[in-house]
Each structure stands twice: as structure tokens, then as C-alpha cells.
A and B are shown apart, each in its own frame.
Chain A
Amino acid sequence: AQTVTQSQPEMSVQEAETVTLSCTYDTSESDYYLFWYKQPPSRQMILVIRQEAYKQQNATENRFSVNFQKAAKSFSLKISDSQLGDAAMYFCAYRAQKLVFGQGTRLTINP
């Protein structure tokens, strides 16, 4: 069975600094998708970024970028120039047939 592990239950960063959230996954599939979702206090699940496993280039969305290491089964999220509005739970997710989530990392932004 596929599993997704986020080893950092909590992280904190100073406003305007850069932070990296870790995610590893276990799969025997070769074709799959990886996602980072953000869940602010409103509980809404918001898609941050998506990566197709067949693409070697790391996905980027404005201040958010990923470091996708397929051989190592690692998928970290880098947030540059952190803003107070980035404070949230962040979930890493893997999808081949079904979407599987990690346990989440709570990110705090210190002003």
C-alpha cells in the first residue's frame, strides 16, 4: 500500500524567510502525481502545487516550489519570502489510483 510520511509535525519560520517542508512516500508505481495542499484555520483544503512523476522539472507556483527526487521518493515544498498568510497546516499527497495524504505539518509564521 502507498504511504506518505511528513516527518515534521510542526515548523516555524520568520516572516520573509524561506522554509522547506519535507515529504517522503512509498510506492511501486512509476506513474503518479504528487500534491501539496494548504489548510488554513478556515479548514478549506487549497491546492498549492502539483507535480507529475514523469516530469523531471520541479514545479513552481510563485513563491512555492518543490524539490522532487523520484529515486529517493522525496517531495519537499519550499516557501520563499514567507508571509503571515502562509500560516496553515500543509499536507503532502500522492496519487496513482487514489489520493493518499500525509499527516500534515503545521507551519507558524513569526512576525
Chain B
Amino acid sequence: DAGITQSPRHKVTETGTPVTLRCHQTENHRYMYWYRQDPGHGLRLIHYSYGVKDTDKGEVSDGYSVSRSKTEDFLLTLESATSSQTSVYFCAISDRGSTDTQYFGPGTRLTVL
């Protein structure tokens, strides 16, 4: 298994509060991704990173920001959480971008009340 951890694994928060999810990898892969998984939608890309301090938006980026100050860490921040952001969040990594397989972390279940 690829060395990918996510923290926290579960979080319950209230509407309007800021939330930060962390993804940590030990594979030294260049590319990192954040997805959300909702019933009936499969996984959808929120943001991705193609190097330290290099990030770009995915298809559902509104309400989310990311940062990557080190190769091994990719942070996803909800500046002001809303109930529509209740979801399971997955981090993924890949070594060579579009020609490479993505490997996924264990997921974080976030509930916004």
C-alpha cells in the first residue's frame, strides 16, 4: 500500500467554522489530489497540486482552498464550513501526473451540522 495518511479520519463541526484536513505521504510523489465522495456522484476532484506551492482547481473547488508547503503534505481548508460540504474526503497521490495511476488515502468523513 502507498504510504498515505489522512487526518483527522472523522470530524463533526458546525456551520461557519473553519476546517482543515491534512494529507501526508511518504512516497515522495510529485502530484497530490483532493476529492470528495457523495452518493450518486462517485468521486469529484476539488483541487490538486503538481509540486510544492503549485496548485490548481478541480471541478468542485468553490468553498475550498489548498496549500502545499512541503512535498509530503497537502492541506485542504474549508474557510467557513457549510452543510453541503458534509462528505467523505479522499486524498490521492501520483508520481507522473496524467500518465500515472493515482493511489488513495483512507478518507476523512466530515459532518457539518
Contacts and interface: CB of A to CB of B under 8 A. Distances in A.
Interface residues of B, number: 21
Contacts, number: 45
Interface of B is mostly: strand
Interface in B23-69: 33, 40-45, 48, 58
A37 B103 CA distance: 10
B19 interface: no
Contacts of A50: 101
Interface of A: 4, 33, 35, 37, 42-47, 50, 91, 95-99, 101-104
24 contacts: A4-B42, A33-B101, A43-B88, A43-B106, A43-B107, A43-B109, A44-B104, A44-B106, A44-B107, A45-B43, A45-B90, A45-B92, A45-B104, A45-B107, A46-B104, A50-B101, A91-B43, A97-B98, A98-B48, A99-B33, A99-B43, A99-B45, A101-B43, A104-B42
